[in-house]
Structure 1
């Protein structure tokens, strides 16, 4: 058993693909329209689906936004230089919502950014 993907519903698929590819450096692995169901799936990641866990973005054609609720947490990405990563996100128009620093009650260095739909992405520096 292994984790295959995490799915997020997004209001504007092209905007979200641009964020995850241009700002966070993922690759668009595949995209498919399901006209009968009026939705599109796009899979993105840092490596092929056979060997890596990926992100599935689901765009329901008739829905432009979602209530994120309070149960969802975040996606976590490891980065060797958290300050440089946050600077690169900002330079590409991304939104850093928690600057790099030690986590509350701990020493692990973390930061958070937000995607165009308001989903949080945590950066962790090993």
Structure 2
């Protein structure tokens, strides 16, 4: 078995695709409309689906926003330099909600950004993780 993807529902697919591809640098791997079901699936990631897990963005055509609830945590991305990544994300119009710095009670350097629908994405600096 292997992990294939994580699915999140988005209210505006074009806005979300712009964030994941232009701000976070992912690639649009595939996209398909399902007119009878009135939804679109778009898969984004840093590598082909055959090589690693990706994110499935599900857009239900008749829904413009979702209540994220309190069960969702975050998506985690490894970055070379969390401080630099935050600056680049802000320059591209992204929303940094926790600036880069050491995690409480650890030396692991993390930051958090938020996508257009309010989903949190943790940036974890490579080579700073201790656990």
Q: TM-score range by the shorter chain?
A: over 0.9
Identify unmatched segments of 5+ residues in structure 2.
Answer: 127-131
| Equivalent residues in 2 for 1:27-106, closer than 5 Å | 27-106=27-106
Runs of 4+ deviating beyond 3 Å = none
Name the counterpart of 1:109.
109
Q: CA RMSD in A?
A: 0.5
Name the counterpart of 2:2.
2
| Cα deviation code 1:83-116 (max 9, x no counterpart) | 1100000000000000011111211100000000
Identify unmatched segments of 5+ residues in structure 1.
Answer: none
**SS state of the match for residue 58, structure 1?**
strand
Aligned length: 126
Distance 1:60 1:95 in 2: 24
**SS state of the match for residue 83, structure 1?**
helix
1:16 paired with 2:38, answer no
Q: TM-score, normalised by structure 2?
A: 0.95
Q: Offset at 1:35?
A: 0.4
Q: Offset at 1:43?
A: 0.3
